[in-house]
Amino acid sequence: MLHRNDWPIMEFDDNPTAKLNPTHFSGSGFDTNKMVITFFPEVIQKLLSAGQIEKERVIPGENPVDIYRFTGKPDVLLTLGQVGCPACGGNLDLFNAMGVTKVMFCGGGGVLVKDLDVGQILVVDGAIRDEGFSYHYIPASRVLYTDPAVTEKIIDYLEKREVSYLRGLVWTTDAIFRETLDRIELRKKEGAKIVEMEQAGCIAVAQFRKFAYGALIYSGDDLSGDDWDGRVWRSREGVRYDLVQLCSELVRLI
């Protein structure tokens, strides 16, 4: 049922069936239900060169999506995420229609609070919804939270292996060039530690379709000071590689 509102983005429709559905494009499904989504293309190339992953298939379209499989963990798939909720969240909905029901996400984001070193892992508890995509999957709210049961499994694994981490909210925005000083300060007061562009959408899809989803975001560039500091965060190859490997283990547990 469509719930009318003065603002179109607030008109949530809880009907799970749309005119165009992911099943129209799902084709033959995967033979496993586990997937890691990463935003680290150089890690995928490194894994390919080392023979640790192999090409599973290409999902065709105007923006083809490459799907890989871990050779040592054949029950785990790997793909490169696309920027923004519509692309990344839309693909996630498609992957679910193809049989994926356990997903771990690993990416990077901009630090909003001081003293977060480059590479510090944030276990995502939820996302402040400053985008539009998630409102088509979950009714309007200021914050959308991850499944606590999934989050606790992630934390339990990290603690048993003595992996350093923080946990908390991210701020999901569509507009990288509109992260203004006042908006940053407000999001910090609301509890956001990192700003990024996908989590609200991915969490919403997972809730709407009812599958397990967890996310690890590492501390990248710094927005906590008077000026932006890139901190050469995309060059932290060791951190990025380790995060993908970590998620390939976690996705089997959630």
Domain ranges (residues) in the chain? 29-250
d(CA 241, CA 40): 8
Picking from 204, 206, 209, 232, the residue whose alpha carbon sits closest to that of residue 219 is 232
pLDDT given at position 161: 93
218 forms beta bridges with 108, 121
What is the distance, to the nearest Å, from the Cα of residue 118 to the centroid of all Cα atoms in its chain? Answer: 19
pLDDT given at position 233: 46
Q: Which CATH fold would you assign to the domain 29-250?
A: Rossmann fold (3.40.50)
Q: For the chain, which residues score pLDDT lower than 70?
A: 220-237
pTM above 0.75, yes or no: yes
